[in-house]
Amino acid sequence: MQPHDFFRQALALGTLALATAISAGPSLSADSAAILMYHRFGEDGFPSTNVRIEQFEDHIRTLTSGRYTVLPVAEIVAALREGRDLPDRTVGITIDDAYRSVYTEAFPRLKAAGLPFTLFIATDSVDRGLAGFLTWDQIREMRDAGNDVGAHSASHLHMTEASAETNRAEMTRSLQRLKEELGTTPTLFAYPYGEASIAVWNVVREFGFTTAFGQHSGTAHATSQDFYLPRFALNETYSDSENFTLRINTRALPVADVTPADPELRHRNPPHVGFTVGPSIPSLLGLACYHSQFGAVDIEQLGTHRVEIRFPAPLEAGRTRLNCTKPAEEGRWYWYGTQFYVPAE
């Protein structure tokens, strides 16, 4: 099974029920939010990181249909951290890497629709004036229009492969440039490539960030690791209307006691994976897990809420992802996802 084939399975099972649930409108409150991640807009030569303009305009029509509440990401994470309810079907929008099409294509459309977003900037690409990237004037214009700017390192490095000293130097340079150009330092951070580890989290914490984001699918919840929040990555392949609607209607599968605690698998591969589903989910009936390397994987349920997974072979070097889903009420889906990183030999 290829990554994200579970979307197609979920759609086959739940599209009709989901459409019925959506037509009834949002419920009063929720404890989770779907956070989206974009990169490029209308740059058709980069399909793995691009969304086509017609896809993006369809996303905006859906988000402004009256069924969803799009909030600034900083507001979402503050509510999750403080245990405050969010409107049901809350969505946050993030955009990584500072490509020029954010300004030329996404910004005018999001501004016209009244949808806020957070832009995560890798500062070196802006400072070098590279073709196809934003300028500081454009970033300031988008910031002044009410959007947030977060940090994304300076050079967009692989942080798990770098030393702590290199990562600190990157963070220092990035934050210095953001302070010089924007007058403030951000509180939100996104890991380049979504690659992180406990050691990298600790470096990020040193610089005063309150929250950091990966690039693994899943719905953000109060129980999520606040220095590794999930986001749904969008590109040309997975931005059709059905996939998009499925993602923004997910609910978090709340988990605790996650093993391994560190997403970087430097010492044990394959890992012994496990998590305990929160008591708000009364039954694990229908829970299924899929790994990007192995497809559907067997799960063992211990007691009423503990799940254990053993992969059949070591994970490949680089990034792989695990996604676990379970049918929820009204044709929606509970979702928990994580990313593993295996260092190259």
Q: Kindly indicate the confidence band of residue 30, based on its pLDDT and cuts at 50, 70 and 90.
A: confident
Question: Would you state the pLDDT for residue 274?
Answer: 98
Given a contact cutoff of 8 angstroms between Cβ atoms, the answer to whether 300 and 227 are in contact is: no
Specify the 3-state DSSP secondary structure of 39.
coil
One-letter-per-residue 3-state SS of 100-143:
CHHHHHHHHHHHHHCCCCEEEECHHHHHCCCCCECCHHHHHHHH
Q: Which residues contact 131 (CB under 8 A, 6 or more apart)?
A: none
Q: Kindly indicate the confidence band of residue 330, based on its pLDDT and cuts at 50, 70 and 90.
A: confident
Q: Kindly indicate the confidence band of residue 323, based on its pLDDT and cuts at 50, 70 and 90.
A: very high
CA dist., res. 35 & res. 101, Å (int): 20
pTM (predicted TM-score)? 0.92
Per-residue pLDDT reduced to its tens digit, 202-224: 999 999 999 999 999 999 999 99
Per-residue pLDDT reduced to its tens digit, 130-155: 999 999 999 999 999 999 999 999 99
Closest CA to 280 of 230, 328, 225: 328
The predicted model gives 192-211 an average pLDDT of: 96
Q: Kindly indicate the confidence band of residue 267, based on its pLDDT and cuts at 50, 70 and 90.
A: confident
The predicted model gives 262-278 an average pLDDT of: 95
Specify the 3-state DSSP secondary structure of 40.
strand
Q: What is the mean pLDDT of the chain?
A: 92
DSSP structure string for 183-199: SS--SEEE-GGG---HH
Given a contact cutoff of 8 angstroms between Cβ atoms, the answer to whether 247 and 268 are in contact is: no
- pLDDT greater than 80 at residue 127: yes
Question: Would you state the pLDDT for residue 4?
Answer: 44
Question: Would you state the pLDDT for residue 17?
Answer: 37
The predicted model gives 284-296 an average pLDDT of: 97
AA letter at 31: D
Q: Which CATH architecture has domain 5-342?
A: Alpha-Beta Barrel (3.20)
- pLDDT greater than 70 at residue 22: no
The predicted model gives 177-206 an average pLDDT of: 97
How many residues appear in the chain?
345
Provide the CB-side half-sphere exposure for 237 (13 A, CA).
11
Q: Which residues contact 267 (CB under 8 A, 6 or more apart)?
A: none
Per-residue pLDDT reduced to its tens digit, 230-262: 999 999 998 999 999 999 999 999 999 999 999
- pLDDT greater than 50 at residue 16: no
Q: Output 30 or 301, whichever has higher pLDDT.
A: 301
260 upstream amide cis, omega within 30 of 0: yes
| Residue 58 neighbours by CB distance under 10 Å | 17
Q: Kindly indicate the confidence band of residue 29, based on its pLDDT and cuts at 50, 70 and 90.
A: low
Q: What percent of the chain has pLDDT over 70?
A: 92
CA dist., res. 179 & res. 312, Å (int): 48
The predicted model gives 13-40 an average pLDDT of: 62
Specify which residues 267 forms β-bridges with: none
Report long-range pairs for 2-5 (Cβ below 8 Å, ≥24 apart).
Answer: 2/292, 2/295, 3/292, 3/321, 4/237, 4/238, 5/290, 5/295
| Residue 111 neighbours by CB distance under 10 Å | 15
Q: Kindly indicate the confidence band of residue 307, based on its pLDDT and cuts at 50, 70 and 90.
A: very high
- pLDDT greater than 80 at residue 13: no
Closest CA to 310 of 260, 264, 276: 260
Q: Which two tokens stand for residue 171?
A: 């963070």
Per-residue pLDDT reduced to its tens digit, 336-345: 999 999 998 7
